Structure formats: C-alpha cells, structure tokens
Amino acid sequence: MTNRCWAEIDLAALQSNLTWIRHRVGPKVRIMTVVKADAYGHGLRQIAALLMQSGTDIFGVANLEEARAIRSVGRGWPILMLGACLPDEMERAVREEIMPTISSLDEARRFSELGRKFNKVVNAHLKVDTGMGRLGVSIDDAPELLKSSAQLSHLRFSGIYTHFASAEDDSAFTHKQRRSFERLNARLASDGFHFDHIHASNSASLLHESKSAFNLVRPGLLVYGLLPTGRRRANSLLRKNLRPALSWKCRVTLVKQIPAGTPLSYGRSYIAPHAMRVATLSAGYGDGYLRAGSGHCEVLIQGRRCPVLGRITMDQMLVDVSSISKVKSGDEVVLIGRQGRNNITANELAQWCGTVPWEILTAINYRVPRLYLNAHAA
C-alpha cells in the first residue's frame, strides 16, 4: 500500500552520529542519549533498541511513559527522568528504578520514604539551577540540601547536573554558568560529596564548550544528525561528520493548470499572478507540517525546489510546479531530506516556520509512519 505521508529513518546514520560523539568526548566520558518526545520524532522503541547496541550508557527521558517504553525494549539500562516527578508518579519511579531529578529537600525526603517502603535505595541526580530557571536548587542552597539529604537512609545522589540556557548563542553567559557549576563541585568535593555522574553538556555545548564535558554528556539533536541553531556556528568539519537520520516525504495527489487571478487555499491567501501549474500534496499541519510555514516553505519534486503557495491546511498543501514539465499524481515529494542534488534540512524548514529544529522534528505526529532503513548496516 502506498504511503501518503511518511518518514524514513536511516539507522546507520544515527549510529554513525553516536560513534562520532563518542570519539569527540573520548573514552573517559559517558554518554546519556536524550530520547525525549519519541526520540525527537524518530520512534522511541526502535531508536532505543539501536542505541543499546551502539554504545549509549544512559537514557534521558522526560516522563515515566518514555522510561517504560525503553524498559519494554531492554531491561537494566540506567534511565534518568529529566523532568520533575509529580507526587503521584514518585512511587512508580521508585518501584521501576527510574532515576529521578531532584531539586528540593522535600522531594529528597519523599523519595527516601518511598525507598524505605519498597526496601530500595533510590539513586537520584541533583539538578542545580545556574541560570536556566526551570528546575534545580540554587547554587547557594545546594550544599545544605546535600548535607540534610545525607541523613536520608534510602536516598543516594549518584549524579549532579545543570543545564545551559543558551550555549548555542551566548558564550559569556554559558561560561558564567559553567564556572558557577565548577566552583560548586569543587566546594562539594572538599565537603566530602562525590558523584558518579557530573554533567552539563547538551548538544550545543558539546560543539562549543569543550571544558563542559565533565564525566557525562547529554546529546540530543546531535545524535539525530542536526546542529543546534544559534549565533555560534559549528565549523564545516563538524557539519560533515553528522548525517541527518530523518527524511520526511509525501505524494503529489493532483496537478492542474490555473489562469492568472485564481485564488488558492483558505482566505484566498494566494492569488496567482499569472498562469501556473499547481500541485496538491498529501501532507499538512495534521501531519505536523507547521502552518506557520505557509507562503515561506519549499519542497523538492524531481530534485527541484517548489514553493508552497497560500496557507497550509490540515491534510494538504499547494505548491508551484510550473518549472517542472512532467509532474503527476503519485510522484514523491521531499519535505525534509535529499532528492537528486538538492537538499532541504530540518533547520531550513525551521527557519521558514520561525521556529527551531527541535519543534520541527517533534511535531511530526503519530499518523506519519516511520520506515526504518539500513538496519543491517547499523
């Protein structure tokens, strides 16, 4: 059966990206692969299975459902929940041995009590807020939290971490965050606190902040072959070493000739300035192709760039194919990826939509089937 809209995931590319990250950080630094939001839209279970074979050390998730999906693929892998546990999630996290992120003494006490209840020592990571402002204990309060938590019999802080707010844009603020975190860790070490895992590096800081690796890194976007967008640019050599794993495609459903003055799409948002050949495509915002890209995006048909005309609708959109002589119903259309000598990246699509590549990937929704390629090569 022909797919109307689908994504292709190159598993060999993803494995190659992880190998490159491993080489970049060196053998003494562990890798926590971030697989939030269905592995950034690539399919969590399939990607987790590949990563288990490819050398990841720890998984980073946003919630307990993602952790459970990983456990359904393979048991025994360390999993850190990067988001805070809700009160009614804490018991399940302890029972299923998911490492929680803790930002307060109250959370620490609750987890220790649940550890006692289930006769387990809860391994947790302490989150320190150095400037992101979401989760995390303040730099000033972290030592006291750890000293008080040392009295809790069923809780162990096996890790400590922070998160950079703008490593892709602001080197000065990122350096300030790193120095604050380093000073805290030095103070904690002198007070006798030691951690198996110390981490701060996301994808952007892996590219731009070599001193921030500590002994664990948390790549997300880089694993999937994309560079974070921002004012700080990665050099061309880094770009060549990464291969986007995801391509996104749909079909031409109809081609028609229209005269000048013909209105197109909702709100008559495009009026043909001259006679045109217009193709209707089998993808829209109901598949995750953002409506914000209306009138700005391009797609590839027969290796040629074709501009999107008018508003993107729920299941369809229109493109100008006047420059291509033989377009017909059923032809393949590339929304993200390569066709012939031309290429459209998720970063480029994000720029057209006024957003970031993270949103582009995670917006591709459940009704778009994922087809996995090069499994044997991976």
* Residue that is written with structure tokens 């259309």 in the block: 333
Distance from C-alpha of 348 to C-alpha of 356, rounded to nearest angstrom: 9
Torsion of the alpha carbons at 289, 292, 296 and 300, rounded to the nearest 10: 0
Q: Show the tokens assigned to 229.
A: 């967008």
With CA atoms as reference, report the closest residue to 206 among 15, 24, 57, 18.
Answer: 24
With CA atoms as reference, report the closest residue to 278 among 301, 305, 248, 258.
Answer: 258
Distance from C-alpha of 110 to C-alpha of 155, rounded to nearest angstrom: 10
Q: DSSP states of 314-337 as a string?
A: SS-EEEE-TT-S---TT-EEEEEE
Q: Which of 28, 36, 147, 328 is catalytic?
A: 36
The yes-or-no answer on residue 36 being catalytic is yes
Q: Which of 240, 266, 328, 366 is catalytic?
A: 266
With CA atoms as reference, report the closest residue to 317 among 244, 353, 266.
Answer: 266
The yes-or-no answer on residue 266 being catalytic is yes
Q: DSSP states of 115-179 as a string?
A: HHHTT-PEEEEEEEESS--SS-EETTTHHHHHHHHTT-TTEEEEEEE---S-TTT-HHHHHHHHH
Q: Show the tokens assigned to 139.
A: 């730099």
Q: Which residues contact 215 (CB under 8 A, 6 or more apart)?
A: 28, 29, 30, 197, 198, 199
Whether the CB-CB separation of 245 and 224 falls below 8 Å is answered with yes
With CA atoms as reference, report the closest residue to 198 among 32, 3, 36.
Answer: 32
With CA atoms as reference, report the closest residue to 225 among 7, 6, 12.
Answer: 12
129 φ, ψ to 5°?
A: -90, 110
With CA atoms as reference, report the closest residue to 17 among 226, 201, 225.
Answer: 225
Whether the CB-CB separation of 85 and 93 falls below 8 Å is answered with yes
User: Annotated active-site positions, please?
Assistant: 36, 266
